[in-house]
Amino acid sequence: MGITDRVILTLYTFLMAVFALVLVLCSLGVISQESILMFISSIPGSWEYAVAGVIFLLASIRLLLAGIGAFGVNSFLLGNPESGKVSISKKAIEDYIADIAQEVYGIYGVKVVAKMEDNNISARINASIEPGINIYETTYEIKNNVKETIKKVVGMDVTDIEVFFKQIKNTNN
């Protein structure tokens, strides 16, 4: 999430907190029902409230899209910008991590979601594992292989790796 999204989220959260406070004060009787009705009756025909409503709608859409990753990083910048720009796509990193993980015995059906922040990569690896394979040792091997290979090939640190096994069954079933 970029700085713009963080600022929008902070303002949006503050306004939601104010709204929640007003709601609590109304339910406790601190703010009278008449004052709320007077405020609501002043809304029709007021362009200021329409503009505020449109701004809230746009902020909500922006946060929703940022939350599902629509504005995520699609490529990673590698190396020093003074020596020339080199970038690698997020999809290439994810596919490569999937290939590395799938090289471990007993692992198949690997899917990866990668994120980059502060020149580090974090990855969530979803995979299936065959029965009888030691999950703890296999997870350790996957994490080590991914960290070492990505550091060697791409030159970036993989700081966080989550491994999620969605199935424990034979590959031929």
Residues 10 and 61 in one domain: yes
**Is residue 50, in this structure, part of any structural domain at all?**
yes
Residues 134 and 87 in one domain: yes
Residues 63 and 110 in one domain: no
d(CA 133, CA 171): 13
Last residue within a domain, chosen from 45, 67, 89: 67
- The pLDDT assigned to 69 comes to 59
**Is residue 156, in this structure, part of any structural domain at all?**
yes
Q: How confident is the model at residue 1 (pLDDT cuts 50, 70, 90)?
A: low
Residues 159 and 80 in one domain: yes
- Torsion angles phi and psi, residue 163, rounded to 5: -115, 125
Residues 15 and 50 in one domain: yes
Alpha-carbon torsion 100, 106, 109, 113, what sign? negative
- The pLDDT assigned to 39 comes to 83
Domain residues for the domain of 13 are 3-67
- The pLDDT assigned to 65 comes to 76
d(CA 153, CA 45): 62
- The pLDDT assigned to 80 comes to 64
Please determine, for residue 97, whether its predicted confidence score (pLDDT) is greater than 60.
Answer: yes
**Is residue 173, in this structure, part of any structural domain at all?**
no
Residues 37 and 113 in one domain: no
pLDDT tens column, 60-93:
887 777 666 555 556 666 666 677 777 788 889 9
Residues 42 and 100 in one domain: no
Residues 128 and 79 in one domain: yes
What does DSSP say about strands 75-78 and 86-89: parallel, antiparallel, or unpaired? antiparallel
pLDDT tens column, 13-22:
888 888 889 8
Which whole number is the average pLDDT over 160-165? 94
Give the total number of structural domains in the chain: 2
pLDDT tens column, 135-146:
999 999 999 999
